[in-house]
Amino acid sequence: MRFGFIKTLCVLWLAAIVLLALSAPLITSADPYTPVSDMLQSPSYHPPLGTDALGRDFFARTAYGARLSLSIPLLSTLLTVLIGTTFSLTAITAGRLSDRIILTIANTALAIPGLLLAMLLVAGFGPGLSTIVLAVGLGGIPGFIRLSRSIFLGIKEMGYIDAAYALGASRTRVAIAHMLPNAAPQLFSLATTHFAWAFMGTTTLTFLGLSGDPSFPEWGAMLNSGRMHLIQAPWLTIVPGILISLTILAVHYLGENYADH
Amino acid sequence: MKTNKIIILLIIFLLSISGLSSACQPPSETSSTLNYGLTLAPSGIDPHLNASAELGIPLSSVYDTLVFLDPANGEFVPGLAERWEISSDGLSYTFHLRKDVHFHDGTPFDAQAVQENIEYTLNPENHSQKAATMLGPLNQMEILDEFTIVLVLDEPFAPLLDSLSQVYLGMASPKALEQWGPSEYQFHQVGTGPYRFIEYIPNDHITIERNPDYAWGPAIYSNAKASIERIFFYFYEDAASRALALERREVDVMGEIPPHEADRLASSSDFSLSPVAIPGQPLQYFVNTTVEPTDDLRVRQALLLAIDKESIVRTIFGSHSPISNGPLSQAGFGMISAPPPSSHNPGEARQLLDTAGWILEGQDTHRKRDGVPLSIKLIAPDWGSNSEVAQLMKVGWENIGVNVELIIAPGFGALKEIQSSGDYHVIGINFFGTDPDLLRSFYASDAFYNWTGYSDAEIDRLLNEAARTTHVPVHRMELYSQIVRAITDNALVLPIRDYVNLVVTQQRVEGLKFSAQGWFPNLIDVQLSSP
Amino acid sequence: MVSKSHRRTALLAVIRRLLEGVGTAWAAVTLAFFALRFASGDPVASLLSQGLASPEQADEIRISLGLNAPLWLQYLRFLTNLLHGDLGSSLYTHRSVSQIILEQFPSTAVLAVSGLIAAILLGLILGITAAWFGKRASGMIAATIAALATSIPVAFAGILSLLIAGCLLQEPGSANGMLIRLILPAMVLGFASSGPIARVIHSGLSESLRSPFILAARARGIRRGFRLLWHALKPSLPPVISLTALEAAFLFTGTVVTETVFSRPGLGRLLVKSILDGDFPIALGLVALAAIFYTISHVFADLLTLVIDPRLRRAE
């Protein structure tokens, strides 16, 4: 089976973004916080993407921005997956009652939109990047529990799980040694799709100004601050916007098609 | 044909959208209508009860005040009061009111109305946020006859006339106040001004209409009556949308346009730019003197020296803002001697920090003393250009080895929460006003807005004495000059720039001038040239 | 013919779902109450810290708001009031919360409904084009646009539309105001929400076009074109309809951002503002209403599926 053309593109794009994030200090000598020149200069030879409203090197901000824009959703997805999987696995393997309880709690929490939960958390803990990680992470748990639970449910109905129980395996052992490994590919696909959601959620929150310190380069916050000068310097919004959109697109595409293997 | 279905679907789509949107009324544009853009949507628009400056923009034309402040010379001119006397002990103000004034609902304006207005404002159940505090030690009122009223104070209070010149103490119809009560009155406001209040739909618009009976305007108004028939006010909270609204001809006038956008619009012949200096406090940051390391004067001075004000102002505000060096703006306070400009001197700042014991060792980027890093929590409000200013301040301070944690507080509530917790070193807030007594709310030891935590008996004494100096303005200003010197010597505040409101108008708008407070347009004088 | 026992089972299912819905709504509102309490702490403290009440007044306010009662009692009072439609008064303006919400509701409702209609129409167009034209250029383009719709953040789509509209509309005119105020935000919202709908239709329609029953239909003489399309589309409709009801979730996020970008008044912005300002009664009222609305739309979606599926199945 040949790896599709589009899939290759997606992987390449994501690799490029990650590379950008990791190698930021190597690619550009400018620092994303200090103004280097007059503000709102158009892209030219130097600085490569011009300057933003405070005269900072925009290419530097974009490159360093990849770091925050990638790591925040990554951390929150990790949080969601760890907690969510624990709950859904418990729900499926620990008996009817726990399943009912966990499912009901998850459904109830789902009645409150994720963004709302996130905003409440920000209101409680104050704006900041760590709050956003927490907010996006916690906000995604109910949905993740539901979806991962169905995955585990599907696995459970396979014959070999019953066989394992028949052979005397304890519930924990079945859960960890049998269900998890078998669910792994589907879980990974789910986590990837969830990462796209977390990425979107993070940029929405930072766009609404809840990131605390706008001098940190982060694509969602840059999308917001670029709006002030939309007509004069459209690239300040277009560049982060396109980067965000293409990244989400790539992750979505890969996540959806991964499970087909 | 497949294309047919697409076309039909598109048609349905467009029809349904236009059907729905016909529910919306577009702003009409006739030679007799003006569309004015406001910014923040305030939580309430009753000037007696609410504090926002925004509400004054429409309402200062709906209300008249007892006196008016002349922006040209800083003197008070007659308004609803023809003349007044102040007793020599400064405790009694006798106002002789005009006899020919009536409210928009037909009821006559008289001394009784003044008394009821003040009672309404001072009534603790009404929770007046600003107007009540502006009356100071007002104790009682005496009505001498139908058009004469005496305001009696417990102590002399120099700012009283200034307070009475502001829209927050504009005169409302007692009948309307009585009829609607404090919650609903804001939707049915009745004053005596050149415009009548028509309606207020929260977050949507305010409408006012010309008052054809207006015949008692103060001397500072050029016209006797308004010329524009109707004025609509729309809200544009989002700064990024304001310039766009002007370009799309949604509004004819809008203030608080971001500086670069204002320049861009002004370069076109379709728009004119009117920069208006707003008197009061500059965009400034208070330094917390009660916590380390900012309790040390040398650290505060170093922070001030490390800010490149010129570069900040040039970058963010272009050519539009004078740099500020003291706790009061230059506009409106010319009689108070301003402090000398502070220089941008990072070298001296570094020396000061060294002397204070904060050293840079080896490869460190941040200074330390006894192993403790030099950390500053910088709290900036989210309005105006505070966010950008704070970011550049942070750069300047990191440059001299200070570790800065910047937090933008979303809204006044959040700002105040942080301040109440005490967990900050530098925090930004500023108020506007035309009387230097403004300083007392910020620098008196027990003041609510004393966010520096600095307590100095001498400053308190000077502030109190200045507030009581009703009769000798020169002496009063000299006292404030001393206060300003004390504030500057102790580096209590980091002033950045004087506020200049960038107002952009369409070409057809003529005659737009602003009141002494800076924010409020004299709408009676605005005319529209024929298109 | 639907038999009596069929009808009774269906009715029972409906009743059960409704009861579940009530239960979920109640649980969600409870969650909202305690979550907000946790987030905002003592509501009066923020009044105190802002100087809007003196310490003596604060005690009075606490009593008038019923804050001195134990938490469970406050919660019960909140529930009873909620059932009567009383959501308390704003902490700052003392106006009735239900009144404030009612004032802002029309603007958001108009935006949300227009957005939803736009989403459905756009989703239909994209999904049908992608499935019908399959490998051809128009099909691939439609599929790509649908994918973009799910990936472009609402904020960016809004900003782009402002840019484009700004470039295209160069002549002055206040009709532009109406365009920008409603049509554009509705289209942006619709575009951003159309992705899932397009996807469901695309995959559902593609599959059904390849299915034997379509071949049978063509053998029966139904020509290509509208009638064939309609037959092929029918099985995909139930998931689309239930998806539409669930889109309510996305609409909420979408309205908050759209209202910000286009400076429209509405409940989304009111919510953000009330949470950040600490106006607890308004925030709680809005969150509770959002939770109830969500539950209603979920229940509605489930009920619709129940209703439509059996009937369609029976029709073959």
Q: How many CB atoms lie within 10 A of CB A12?
A: 11
Tell me which chain A residues have a C-beta less than 8 angstroms from the C-beta of B315: 35, 38-39, 54-55
Tell me which chain A residues have a C-beta less than 8 angstroms from the C-beta of B318: none
In chain B, the percentage of residues whose pLDDT exceeds 70 is 94
Q: Give kind and range of the element (H or E) at residue B267.
A: none
User: Hey, of C263, C264, C276, C279, which one would you mutate to test binding to chain B, going by the most B CBs within 10 A of its CB?
Assistant: C263
Q: Which residues contact A88 (CB under 8 A, 6 or more apart)?
A: A102, A144, A145, A146, A148, A149, A151, A152
* Nearest CA distance, B234 vs chain C (angstrom): 10
The conformation of residue B178, written as its DSSP 8-state character, comes to H
Contact (CB, 8 A) for C254 and C154: yes
Q: Which of A169, A20, A42, A167 is nearest to A93 (CA)?
A: A169
Q: Which of C9, C4, C1 is nearest to C306 (CA)?
A: C9
Is a pLDDT exceeding 90 seen at residue B111? yes
Helix (H, G, I), strand (E, B) or coil at C185: helix
Nearest to A113 among C24, C148, C252 (CB): C252
Give the tens place of pLDDT for each residue, B462-521.
Answer: 999 999 998 888 999 999 999 999 999 999 999 999 999 999 999 989 999 999 999 999
User: Which residues partner with B199 through β-bridges?
Assistant: B207
Give the sign of the dihedral formed by CA B18, CA B24, CA B25, CA B29: negative
Q: Give kind and range of the element (H or E) at residue B368.
A: strand B368-369
Among A83-92, B168-177, B224-233, C239-248, name the one with the lowest average pLDDT. C239-248
Q: Is the pTM of this model over 0.80?
A: yes
- C159 vs A230: CB contact, 8 Å cut-off? yes
Q: Is the peptide bond before B339 cis (omega within 30 degrees of 0)?
A: no
d(CA A99, CA C76): 29
d(CA C219, CA C238): 26
Q: Please calculate the CA angle B361-B363-B364 and round it to the nearest 5 degrees.
A: 65
Cβ burial, residue B198 (10 Å; 0-12/13-18/19+): middle
Give the tens place of pLDDT for each residue, B44-77.
Answer: 889 998 878 889 999 999 999 999 999 888 899 9
Please give the interface size between B and C, counted as residue pairs whose CB atoms are below 8 Å apart: 137
d(CA B364, CA B401): 8
d(CA B238, CA B39): 7
Is a pLDDT exceeding 60 seen at residue B29? no
Give Cα separations from B226 to B212, B293, B521 (angstroms).
8, 57, 13
Is a pLDDT exceeding 80 seen at residue B10? no
User: Which residues partner with B97 through β-bridges?
Assistant: B81
The segments of chain C whose pLDDT lies below 50 read 170-175, 312-316
- A54 vs B391: CB contact, 8 Å cut-off? yes
Quote the tokens at residue B254: 């809008």
Question: Does B148 or A127 have the greater pLDDT score?
Answer: B148
Please give the interface size between A and B, counted as residue pairs whose CB atoms are below 8 Å apart: 69
Q: Which of C25, C20, B409, C155 is nearest to A115 (CA)?
A: C155
Is a pLDDT exceeding 70 seen at residue B27? no
At residue B162, the pLDDT reads: 93
User: Which residues partner with B96 through β-bridges?
Assistant: B83, B148
d(CA C182, CA B22): 10
b/e code B47-66 from CB counts within 10 Å (16+ = b): bbbbbbbbbbbbbbbbbbbb
Nearest to C153 among A117, A234, A245 (CB): A245
At residue C315, the pLDDT reads: 42
Contact (CB, 8 A) for B229 and B210: yes
d(CA B104, CA B419): 43
Q: Tell me, what's the ipTM? A: 0.83
d(CA B242, CA C263): 9
- A212 vs B407: CB contact, 8 Å cut-off? yes
d(CA B199, CA B197): 6
d(CA C307, CA C238): 9
* Nearest CA distance, B184 vs chain C (angstrom): 8
Question: How far from the centroid of its chain's Cα atoms is residue C214's Cα?
Answer: 34
- B261 vs A33: CB contact, 8 Å cut-off? no
End-to-end CA distance of chain C: 13
At residue C55, the pLDDT reads: 67
User: C interface toward A at CB cutoff 8 Å?
Assistant: 24-25, 27-28, 31-32, 35-36, 38-40, 147-148, 150-156, 159-160, 162-163, 166, 249, 252-253, 256-257, 260-261, 271-272, 275-276, 278, 283, 287, 290-291, 294-295, 298
> What is the DSSP annotation of B481-518?
HHHHHHHHHTT-EEEEE--EEEEEEETTEE---B-TTS
Cβ burial, residue B266 (10 Å; 0-12/13-18/19+): middle
List the 402-431 stretch of B: residues with Cβ below 8 A of C.
Answer: 410-414, 416-417, 419-420
Strand order through the sheet with B253-254:
B195-201, B205-210, B230-235, B33-38, B253-254, B500-506, B271-277
Question: How far from the centroid of its chain's Cα atoms is residue C49's Cα?
Answer: 36
Helix (H, G, I), strand (E, B) or coil at C223: coil
Helix (H, G, I), strand (E, B) or coil at B153: strand
Dihedral-angle region of residue A200 (phi above 0 means left; psi in -120 to 50 means alpha; beta otherwise): alpha
User: Hey, of C40, C47, C48, C50, which one would you mutate to test binding to chain B, going by the most B CBs within 10 A of its CB?
Assistant: C50
Q: Is the peptide bond before B293 cis (omega within 30 degrees of 0)?
A: yes
Cβ burial, residue B297 (10 Å; 0-12/13-18/19+): middle
Chain B contact for C176 (CB, 8 A cutoff)? yes
Nearest to B249 among C57, C173, C229 (CB): C173
Tell me which chain C residues have a C-beta less than 8 angstroms from the C-beta of A120: 35-36, 39, 275, 287
At residue B155, the pLDDT reads: 92
Q: What is the CA radius of gyration of chain C?
A: 24
Backbone angles phi, psi at A219, to 5 degrees: -60, -40
Q: Which of B242, B238, B213, B243 is nearest to B225 (CA)?
A: B213
Question: Does A6 or B509 have the greater pLDDT score?
Answer: B509
d(CA C24, CA C19): 9
At residue B147, the pLDDT reads: 94
Q: Which of A70, B88, B20 is nearest to C181 (CA)?
A: B20
Give the tens place of pLDDT for each residue, B321-339.
Answer: 899 999 999 888 888 888 8
At residue B187, the pLDDT reads: 93
Cβ burial, residue C2 (10 Å; 0-12/13-18/19+): exposed
Tell me which chain B residues have a C-beta less than 8 angstroms from the C-beta of A126: 407, 414, 418
Contact (CB, 8 A) for B48 and B33: no
The model's confidence at residue B272, banded by pLDDT at 50, 70 and 90, is very high
Q: Please calculate the CA angle C123-C129-C132 and round it to the nearest 5 degrees.
A: 130
Tell me which chain C residues have a C-beta less than 8 angstroms from the C-beta of A112: 28, 31-32, 35, 287, 290-291, 294
Half-sphere exposure of C282 (CA within 13 A, CB side): 27
Q: Mean pLDDT across chain B, nearest whole number?
A: 88
Question: How far from the centroid of its chain's Cα atoms is residue A16's Cα?
Answer: 17
Give the tens place of pLDDT for each residue, B410-441.
Answer: 777 778 888 888 999 999 998 888 999 989 98
User: Looking up tokens 């015949």, which residue turns up?
Assistant: B215
Backbone angles phi, psi at A140, to 5 degrees: -90, -5
d(CA A32, CA A52): 10
Mean of pLDDT values over B76-92: 93
Range of B22-26, B343-347, C67-71 with top mean pLDDT:
B343-347
Give the tens place of pLDDT for each residue, C63-96.
Answer: 777 777 777 888 888 888 888 878 887 777 777 8
At residue B24, the pLDDT reads: 39
Quote the tokens at residue B269: 């012949």
* Nearest CA distance, B522 vs chain A (angstrom): 29
Half-sphere exposure of A246 (CA within 13 A, CB side): 18
Contact (CB, 8 A) for A244 and C156: yes
The model's confidence at residue A70, banded by pLDDT at 50, 70 and 90, is very high
- C183 vs B21: CB contact, 8 Å cut-off? yes
Q: Which of B130, B141, B231, B138 is nearest to B438 (CA)?
A: B130
Question: How far from the centroid of its chain's Cα atoms is residue B170's Cα?
Answer: 17
Helix (H, G, I), strand (E, B) or coil at C84: coil
Tell me which chain C residues have a C-beta less than 8 angstroms from the C-beta of B18: 183
* Nearest CA distance, C308 vs chain A (angstrom): 24
At residue C92, the pLDDT reads: 72
- A34 vs B395: CB contact, 8 Å cut-off? yes
Chain C contact for A227 (CB, 8 A cutoff)? yes
d(CA B285, CA B374): 19
End-to-end CA distance of chain B: 50
Tell me which chain C residues have a C-beta less than 8 angstroms from the C-beta of A235: none
List the 222-241 stretch of B: residues with Cβ below 8 A of A.
Answer: 238-240
Give Cα separations from B323 to B310, B341, B494, B495, C142 (angstroms).
7, 9, 11, 8, 55
End-to-end CA distance of chain A: 10
Question: Does A176 or C196 have the greater pLDDT score?
Answer: C196
d(CA C32, CA C12): 30
Q: How many CB atoms lie within 10 A of CB C38?
A: 12
Tell me which chain B residues have a C-beta less than 8 angstroms from the C-beta of C95: 44, 183
Question: Does C265 or B211 have the greater pLDDT score?
Answer: B211
Identity of residue C228: L
d(CA C97, CA C91): 9
Is a pLDDT exceeding 60 seen at residue B175? yes
